[in-house]
Amino acid sequence: MTSSQTLPLDRLPHRVKAKITEIGSGPEKTAELEPTLEDLLLGLGFEEGAEIEVRHQGPLGGPLAVNVDGRLVALRPVDAAAVLVEMTTSFSDPVLGS
């Protein structure tokens, strides 16, 4: 069982600080020179324990701009789902009412 605060990055509300708990490997490689999603995420500074916050989303449901330990990285929601995060402060959004 994961704690109720653990959720995939694409579901993390914007402007809420969280910590990365796990980086999944994502889908299988499709081409020889193509790195796995995990390789790419690790290369850009995603790692267990890193502080993370969703800052922006591109127009029309576009990619997310995520701050990982001070570095701003763009990735699509579908890939962000491979990153599991835990909110560092308990969260209740007055707008969403959750």
Partner 1 sequence: MRADLRLALVGNPNSGKSSLFNALTGNRQKVGNYPGVTVERRTATIEAPDGRAISIVDLPGTYSLTPNSPDEVVTHDALVGTSDVEQVPDAVICVVDATSLRLHLKFVLELKRLGRPILVALNMMDLASRDKIELDPDRLSEELGLPVVTTIAVRRSGVAQLVNMFRAADWSELWEKFDTKSDSNKPNPSVRDLQKEARRIAEAVTISEGIEHALTRRIDAVVLNPVAGPIVLLGILFLMFQAVFAWAEAPMEWIDASITTLQQLSLRYIPEGLFQSLIVDGVLAGVGSVIIFLPQILILFAFIIVLEASGYMARAAFLMDRIMTMAGLNGRAFIPLLSSFACAIPGIMAARTIDNPRDRLTTIMVAPLMTCAARLPVYTLIIAAFIPNSAVFGGVGLQGLVMFGLYMVGIVSALVVAAVLKKTLTKGAPPRLLMELPKYQVPRLRDLILGLLERARLFIRRAGTIILFSMIVLWGLASFPAPPPDATEPDIFYSAAGKIGRALEVVFAPIGFNWEISVALVPGMAAREVAVGALGTVYSLSGSEDAVASSLATVLQSAWSLPTALAFLAWYIFAPQCLSTLAVARRETNSWGWTAFMFGYLFALAYVAAGATYWTAKALL
Positions in the binding site for partner 1 (CB under 8 A): 30-31, 33-35, 37, 39-45, 47-48, 55-63, 65, 67, 69-76, 79
Closest to partner 1 by CB, 5 vs 8, is 8
**What's the min distance (Å) between Cβ of 4 and partner 1?**
27
| Min separation Cβ 96 and partner 1, Å | 18
Whether the CB-CB separation of 5 and 90 falls below 8 Å is answered with yes
